[in-house]
Amino acid sequence: MRKVRWSMLLAGLLLVGLVQADVYRWVDDDGSVHYGDRQPPPGKQAEQLDLPAAPSAAPAAEGPGADRVLQTLQEDREARQAEADRKRDEQAERDKRCKALKARYWRYNNVSSLYEMDENGQRRYLSAAEKDEKLDELRRQIEDVCTEPLGDGGG
């Protein structure tokens, strides 16, 4: 019984490819062009179109060059994936750098005094103007690196 069902299904699928429906073209009262596989409403002049046969359902990837085509497609897919991975990794690095810059900005902005280590390993405290310069430089770096603005809270 199963063999009969499969045979009928296969025969039906093969016949579907052989049958081609008629296609009609007509213009309605508003001047719009319509296409359909049925005759238009009564009173409408229709033109039956002679369309080329549908392409065969045979797989496209057959023949002597198919392996090369498939290999090229695979290489393209791998290249696109590698590019997507590279962009994702770059964005992750930018996000990490952005977070660090915003944290530094927040620290610099919320302390009363900043210092740098001099060549002797001694602390040199920055003036208010020097601190403002450091904050301005951090703001510029944040604008260059981060996708979201600094915001009022500094982070």
pLDDT > 90? residue 132: yes
* Lookup result for tokens 């085509």: 69
Residue 79, both tokens: 């290249």
Q: Please tell me the pTM assigned to this model.
A: 0.48
Helix 66-109 / helix 128-145 crossing angle, nearest 10 deg: 160
- Rounded Cα distance between 134 and 128, Å, is 10
| pLDDT 10s digits, 61-115 | 566 678 888 888 888 899 999 999 999 999 999 999 999 999 999 999 999 889 8
Which residue did the predictor score with more confidence, 25 or 62?
A: 25
| pLDDT 10s digits, 33-74 | 877 888 777 877 878 877 776 666 555 556 667 888 888 888
Residue 106: per-residue pLDDT:
94
121 — pLDDT class (breaks 50, 70, 90): very high
Distance of CA 85 to the CA centre of its chain: 13
Residue 34: per-residue pLDDT:
79
* Lookup result for tokens 């990794």: 89
Q: Is residue 125 within 8 Å of 113, Cβ to Cβ? A: yes
Q: Is the dihedral of CA 123, 104, 92, 149 positive or negative?
A: negative
pLDDT > 60? residue 153: no
